[in-house]
Structure 1
């Protein structure tokens, strides 16, 4: 698992390099998907790099990417293990040029993410984790070090992370249940990773997300000692007939649960 994790970190970094080639040229085209969401040339370039890299590993596990999400459930339901990929999570952040977008690669086994890599190429920050290995962060040229989700200490201000692009009144009302708090805005799957590294205590997401948006960071959260669960307290599942996620909350395992 440790060797496989290192391989996936390498692939994610290669995909990040492909993204940065496009990012460096503001003249590159932005297209629109069938659901009117933006698609850049960087999405497509990163998707090719990741698929080629995963196939070269010869694991035999199928690949489900945001860019190939049309694979029917009748085919997918036989998959006990598979790669779940978002080649560029945070396309709106990419278009805004704020750097808060990521490459997400996860290994899902029996509905649970057991390995995940989240790489932010502009920030040169990589979160990576695997079952039995732990969760880690590597910033730039620094050595990687372990990370852990933490609960608020007595008297400590509660830190919550919210979406840069998807703020809403229901989320604001939910966060009021926590009392006094500090709020940090962030884009893409980096929001989950902030909880995993202990930089935030909670991340509620009451807006729409897809499985590929969360799987890699979810693996990091689990390995760091956190949870990603729905309003009933059930951990998110993957490879469902409908690939939409339910609304969810990210928190350290020992942190106070919330219901909405």
Structure 2
């Protein structure tokens, strides 16, 4: 696993360079709308898949990537125990708007659960990585890796909640309004949000599907980073997320936290949703 991690980290840094170069020079918007795609998404995706497949092949490992999922036969990945799940550019809207809040997600899953994760935040010059039962770490190009540990805040009202600025409907807005956390801030990219929790600048992340839902590639890598840093990442009912199913959308409510009062927060979220009518 150490050898696989070293390769994945190198690919993460290489992808960060591609995205930074695109931000500094130019990129084209290939598809607009609620789920935009840029030439940078496609270039990053090509780089990641080419490097992973050249190293690990197509026999033992399968690949699930946001940019190639629609054209990929499900049989290529379903039933395969080892699957790489990739979001080459999480936070494309933020990339287009140049907020700096975008990330690269690369996760290796085994039997539907993440065992290795890379989240690169190019504008922060940081790469986060984790292996199952091996801890979570953050490194820069010029500093040695440092272990990550979530905060020790344990009262809901003292937690800082981080949520998406773009993926929200009226129901989710009402949930955020009624949630007991006094500190709330908006941020792009799930990877950036979870990195904030792992580095103790936030404590809690909420996601609630509406007309659409986050996908496997949004969560697989960030989840392992958070849980190996001591946090928890579940559905509102406390059940774990499963990856590489035929349905790649993660419907319902998702709660990621520092883990200190996770079950209480999940219960609060479920009870609040019962009282919200839109």
Aligned residues: 258
DSSP-derived class of the 2:150 partner: coil
Residue 199 of structure 1 is aligned with which of 174, 198, 201? Answer: 201
Post-superposition offset of 1:49? 1.1
User: Match for residue 5 of structure 1?
Assistant: 5
DSSP-derived class of the 1:199 partner: coil
Cα distance in 2 between the residues matched to 1:202 and 1:171: 15
* Offset from partner CA, 1:167-216 (integer Å, 9 cap, x none): 44433443455525211221112112222333222100013211111111
Long gaps (5+) in structure 2 = 271-278
Cα distance in 1 between the residues matched to 2:167 and 2:179: 20
Cα distance in 1 between the residues matched to 2:140 and 2:184: 23
User: Match for residue 20 of structure 2?
Assistant: 20
Long gaps (5+) in structure 1 = none
User: Match for residue 250 of structure 2?
Assistant: 245
User: TM-score by structure 1 length?
Assistant: 0.90
Kept in 2: contact 1:2–1:133 (CA 8 A): no
Measured on the aligned residues, the alpha-carbon RMSD in Å equals: 2.2
Cα distance in 2 between the residues matched to 1:191 and 1:154: 20
User: TM-score by structure 2 length?
Assistant: 0.85
User: Match for residue 61 of structure 2?
Assistant: 61
User: Match for residue 187 of structure 2?
Assistant: 186
Cα distance in 2 between the residues matched to 1:23 and 1:183: 28
User: Match for residue 276 of structure 2?
Assistant: none
User: Match for residue 166 of structure 1?
Assistant: 167
Cα distance in 1 between the residues matched to 2:155 and 2:96: 40
DSSP-derived class of the 1:43 partner: helix
Cα distance in 2 between the residues matched to 1:37 and 1:168: 15
Name the CA shift for 1:74/1:7 in 2 (closer, same or farther; >3 Å): closer
Post-superposition offset of 1:238? 0.2
